[in-house]
Structure 1
Amino acid sequence: MSKSPEKTTTVISVDQQDDISSINDGTAKLEKRFSLWTTCALQYSLICSPLAIGTFLSTVVGVGGSPVLIYGFILSSTMGLIICCSLAELASAYPHSSAQVYWTYCLAPKAYKRVMSFTAGILSCAGWVFACVSSTYVASMFVVSLAQMYNPDYVPKTWHYYLVYAAVVLSGHLLNVFLVVALPLMTDFLIAIINFATLFVIITLLVKSDPKRTGVFVFKNITNETGWSSDGVVFFLGLLPSIASVCLFDGPAHMTDEIEKPERNIPLVMVISNSVSVIVALFAAIVYMFCIVNVDNLSAPLGGMPIVQLMYDSFNSKALTTVGVLCFIFTFIGSSYLYYCSTSRLIWSFAKSNGLPFGQYFGQISNKLKSPVWALTFVDGISIILGTMIMGSTTALNAVLGSAMVCVNLSYVPPIACLLYNSRFSFSPFVRFHATGDAAPAVLNESKGLPYFSLGKLGMPLNTIAVVWICFIMVWLNFPIYYPVTTDSMNYACVVLGCTLVFAIITWFAYSRKHFDHNTEIKHF
């Protein structure tokens, strides 16, 4: 009789995993300064879903209207949580700050480990950098909208937005480099601001907005101004706000080196923070829809921010609107700082394995500052460069912003698909995570022989749904919203994705093909 999987599997202890997490050139390592709840606060503040969904109201107005936003959010957030749980299980089995890069390397067939892991790394890094640009640009729009509200004759120039944008990037760089010890405190402050802002905006809207919209407007009437004849097409085109409002599920995994017992705590952070985000954001979205006083004003809102216009119209008070806008400004500037933090950890970890050129610099931690200074400089420098598109083509800028969701979601496919392939689509949780073939041994709970966070028999079907859903939404995230399609209305996210892949090919053959390798860390088991 053959031995059971439990008897043949190598179980890695928590102490061994702590050794793995601290590999870092032998010079310095990141300090474990985050707790479970502080990291939950970081992820919740990063995506700030109940406030973020308000920034898409002008998009929703003509692309399906309120029903598409509400029902689309329920669909996309449900699928998003399935993706989140799939990634959380991987984060528990293979805790590492490079997340899907490392997971793919551990699970992919031997002949394809390096190239698949590298591809996941480039997509992930690109998506997070694009997300940095997006969050910072939104923060600059809130600042300009406040100036415009107090100066009705003021017509903002594109370079005004860029100056604010650059100021946010530079201040975030200084904070992440020199005051990294203050990051946990800042996340606590941001949570307080976000909770206050959410309650303030929702309660004030419900009290002050008059007249309110009917249930028919919110839940039934579809508005189609896209030019596409099918409401079904419009429904899927209207998913972008929902997908972008609850996203970046891998964020906590990039903080693996800065939290105790990551194999236990990181999956909990992923599930808890994103589940709370979904619930609160759905409630906020419904309130926003009921409290729209003037739909037409959302098409050309103050400073380009529809949520500011909504508050201005509904509150009927400049003082109350100012309080709301200031909350949004603090939230999105703080969120941008956290984006730089998480992205730099991803770049640092990827470069540490020579996935990027100049890995000897980007993969370093400053002995004095205890921060990945070079990786932060790279992230913020790229953000400053990409931000110059604010002064150029709006179409190109929108393509970069939309590409964040495209690249990050695509980077989730390789590790989940490799887990399915390696386990031969088995329902058995023991087969899924007991090293067979080319897979690396997982970090397992010694008493159960499973990862500390396990989906059990639901793992295979949930993983399958996650991969199919990501492939499905790739079509719509790259689909033109308006018809007929012109050079101005074209969705250029696919072009940005193509450029990202071209960069990946050049980097692979010029450098990474000879140098990229996670194998030294796996051997450390």
Structure 2
Amino acid sequence: MSSSVEQNETTIFVEPVKVHSSKVVTNDKEANHLLREAQANLEFSADTGYAPELKRNFSLISIMGLGMTISNAWLAVSASLIATIVAGGPMMIIYGTIIMFAFAICIAITLGELSSAYPNASGQIYWTMKLTPAKYNKFLSYATGWLAWSGSLFTSASVTVGASSAVVGMYMLYHPDKSVQTWHVFLTYELLNIAIMIFNVYEKPLPYLSKATLVCSISSFIIIIIVVLAMHRGEFETAKFVFVEFNNQTGWSSDAIAFLTAMMNVNWGFSCLDSATHLAEESLNPAVQIPQAIVATVVVGFLTSMPFAIAVFYCIRNLDAIYSSTTGAPIMDIFYQATESKAAAVGLEFLIFITLVGCNIGCHTWSARLAWSFSRDKGLPWSQFWSVVHPKTKTPVNAHIMNCFWVGVIGCLYMASTTAYTALIVSCITFVYISYLPSVIMFIIKRNQIKPGPFFLGKIGLVCNLVLVFWVLYSVIFYSFPFGMPVLAGNMNYSSAVLGIAIVLLILDWNFRAKKNYIGFLEREQMKELYTEY
């Protein structure tokens, strides 16, 4: 290691200590927090070779708030309502959610074990670097970073288009003579993307925002269920309609294939579970709190999505009218059918919109941490800009702004082709899932060789690890199937093409840039020695 690198690493490492020591401590609670933060930072640097640059102000509730608002299973039900009903009816969501919960809890336990053993803001990127063979870990961790980061961008874009559709839909409900145009959603999308960008610029309010969005999500869930049931006019739907009838309108001759491919729509509410792991360097006790937050996210998601789906389906009065609606917001049309009040329907849809905004803020937090932590190892082009933590805001502002720029670019694709845009959005699930594979496979192989963290479930954990690998393979295969039959240009699923393009791009970047510049495990081990000596 050259002396210039040593000097740079020492400077980065010492700076947080100076800031903390010069801070005026006003009470014992604050003093205890600073002491624990300093200790956590020292242990983190000695264990990983990274300099601590972020403030450790996220509590268990605020970490859970981030995970819950991004995954947000009940909100995902409202967003994917029509696509799932077309694939099998309400029972597709009811039983699909139960199945998805079983797999999601295994994914949560696996990610929890890994994050407990190796808490790092890079999440699966660092785990891959740490666990895979030395000959391959540099490229595999690099590829993992590209897929995870790209998946986070696609997720942010999907949430933004959902919030935009809600805004346009509320307007259209009061103007039934008009119809939704692509440019309506596109313009709203770009304006929202710019407006929401401000929330992730400053570090201090982020933990409070995370808690607030969690409270908003749970409160909206409760209010919507109470209102649609209390204000419902006429007869409720039958239990047979909600729990028994399977109505396959996809064109697939096999109901089993229709069901298996439609699980993608249910999967939305239990995806992106790694988001909490990227707050590991902003928690005082990440080895314990991160696993707790991930598992709690899945459990709360199941406990909210099931009653929400059942209540909403019982309130449907005319399913054909929902299919033919011109608002572009089918969940709001159900609210309108249930309450027979435009004001009530718009009010409930506004709760959906506010929850989506909170989800979008969380997606930006997650995506910014991924881009920043990946850039610390020079994973992205021009990493010297994206790896900077702003000295005043204490956040990776450059990485965040860069992410918002790409989300805006993805929005332009929506204007050009909604089919191509849909392919990108589908990829947000598969890209993130694939990014888990290298580290989880090696974790299975090395379970008896590594030092586990506080969260480790032994044989139960091993079963969960194997289930995750199965579910990732299943998702990559079946989520690439066409959405319906016969296959036409307008209903083709191009997500496999998106994956292919992404692989080509990352291989090109690897060979022309990252192969020489990317910091792998051996280089990090040398930096760890510097911190230990210091």
User: TM (normalized to structure 2)?
Assistant: 0.88
Answer yes or no: is 1:190 the counterpart of 2:192.
no
Q: Which amino acid aligns with 1:464?
A: L
Q: Is the 8 A contact 2:96 2:263 kept in 1?
A: yes
Q: Is the 8 A contact 1:131 1:339 kept in 2?
A: yes
Answer yes or no: is 1:272 the counterpart of 2:274.
no
SS of the equivalent of 1:451 reads: coil
Q: Distance in 2 between matches of 1:377 and 1:336?
A: 14
Which residue in the other structure is 1:447 paired with? none
Which residue in the other structure is 1:202 paired with? 225
Which residue in the other structure is 1:486 paired with? 488
Which residue in the other structure is 1:172 paired with? 196
* Alpha-carbon offset, residue 20 of structure 1: 5.3
SS of the equivalent of 1:399 reads: helix
Which residue in the other structure is 1:454 paired with? 456
Which residue in the other structure is 1:476 paired with? 478
* Alpha-carbon offset, residue 302 of structure 1: 4.8
Q: Distance in 2 between matches of 1:351 and 1:140?
A: 31
Q: Is the 8 A contact 2:85 2:92 kept in 1?
A: no
Counterpart mapping for 1:217-228 below 5 A: 217-228=241-252
Residue of 275, 281, 295 corresponding to 1:257? 281
Residue of 414, 424, 433 corresponding to 1:409? 433
Which residue in the other structure is 1:428 paired with? none
* Alpha-carbon offset, residue 483 of structure 1: 0.9
Q: Which amino acid aligns with 2:45?
A: D
Taking only aligned residues, the RMSD between alpha carbons, in angstroms, comes to 1.8
Q: Is the 8 A contact 2:71 2:271 kept in 1?
A: yes
Which residue in the other structure is 2:468 paired with? 466
Q: Distance in 2 between matches of 1:352 and 1:172?
A: 25
Measured against aligned partners, the alpha-carbon deviations of 1:165-222 in whole angstroms (never above 9, x if no partner) come to 1122112222212x33212222222222212211111122222333222111111111
Q: Distance in 2 between matches of 1:310 and 1:195?
A: 20
Residue of 130, 135, 140 corresponding to 1:111? 135
Q: Distance in 1 between matches of 2:101 and 2:291?
A: 18
Answer yes or no: is 1:373 the counterpart of 2:397.
yes
Answer yes or no: is 1:66 the counterpart of 2:90.
yes
SS of the equivalent of 1:126 reads: helix
* Alignment CA distance shift 1:482-1:165 (3 Å): same
* Alignment CA distance shift 1:113-1:218 (3 Å): same
Which residue in the other structure is 2:450 paired with? 433
Which residue in the other structure is 2:12 paired with? none
Which residue in the other structure is 2:57 paired with? 33
Q: Distance in 1 between matches of 2:160 and 2:525?
A: 36
Which residue in the other structure is 1:507 paired with? 509
Q: Is the 8 A contact 1:132 1:339 kept in 2?
A: yes
Q: Which amino acid aligns with 1:504?
A: L
Q: Is the 8 A contact 1:57 1:298 kept in 2?
A: no
* Alignment CA distance shift 1:249-1:20 (3 Å): farther
Which residue in the other structure is 2:44 paired with? 18
Q: Distance in 1 between matches of 2:461 and 2:215?
A: 35
Residue of 146, 150, 155 corresponding to 2:170? 146
Answer yes or no: is 1:53 the counterpart of 2:56.
no
Q: Distance in 2 between matches of 1:36 and 1:432?
A: 29
* Alpha-carbon offset, residue 16 of structure 1: 4.7
Question: What is the number of equivalent residue pairs in this alignment?
Answer: 488
Which residue in the other structure is 1:8 paired with? none
Q: Percent identity?
A: 28
* Alpha-carbon offset, residue 297 of structure 1: 2.2
* Alpha-carbon offset, residue 317 of structure 1: 0.9
Stretch deviating more after TM superposition (456-465 or 131-140)? 456-465
* Alpha-carbon offset, residue 355 of structure 1: 1.1
Gaps of 5+ in 1: 1-12, 424-430, 435-449
Measured against aligned partners, the alpha-carbon deviations of 1:69-118 in whole angstroms (never above 9, x if no partner) come to 11111112210110111011000001111111110111111111111111
Stretch deviating more after TM superposition (359-368 or 282-291)? 282-291
* Alpha-carbon offset, residue 278 of structure 1: 1.6
Which residue in the other structure is 2:35 paired with? none
Q: Which amino acid aligns with 1:192?
A: V
Which residue in the other structure is 1:316 paired with? 340
Q: Which amino acid aligns with 2:323?
A: S
Q: Is the 8 A contact 2:252 2:484 kept in 1?
A: yes
* Alpha-carbon offset, residue 421 of structure 1: 2.6
* Alignment CA distance shift 1:15-1:399 (3 Å): closer
Measured against aligned partners, the alpha-carbon deviations of 1:99-157 in whole angstroms (never above 9, x if no partner) come to 11110111111111111111111111111110010000100000101111122223333
Which residue in the other structure is 1:383 paired with? 407
SS of the equivalent of 1:508 reads: helix
Q: Distance in 2 between matches of 1:39 and 1:21?
A: 22
Q: Which amino acid aligns with 1:499?
A: I
Answer yes or no: is 1:245 the counterpart of 2:269.
yes
* Alpha-carbon offset, residue 279 of structure 1: 1.8
Which residue in the other structure is 1:229 paired with? 253
Stretch deviating more after TM superposition (58-67 or 183-192)? 183-192
Which residue in the other structure is 2:14 paired with? none
* Alpha-carbon offset, residue 303 of structure 1: 3.2
Which residue in the other structure is 1:358 paired with? 382
Q: Is the 8 A contact 1:132 1:340 kept in 2?
A: yes
Measured against aligned partners, the alpha-carbon deviations of 1:372-401 in whole angstroms (never above 9, x if no partner) come to 111111100100011012212110111111
Stretch deviating more after TM superposition (48-57 or 337-346)? 48-57
Stretch deviating more after TM superposition (507-516 or 90-99)? 507-516
Q: Distance in 2 between matches of 1:401 and 1:15?
A: 37
Stretch deviating more after TM superposition (339-348 or 186-195)? 186-195
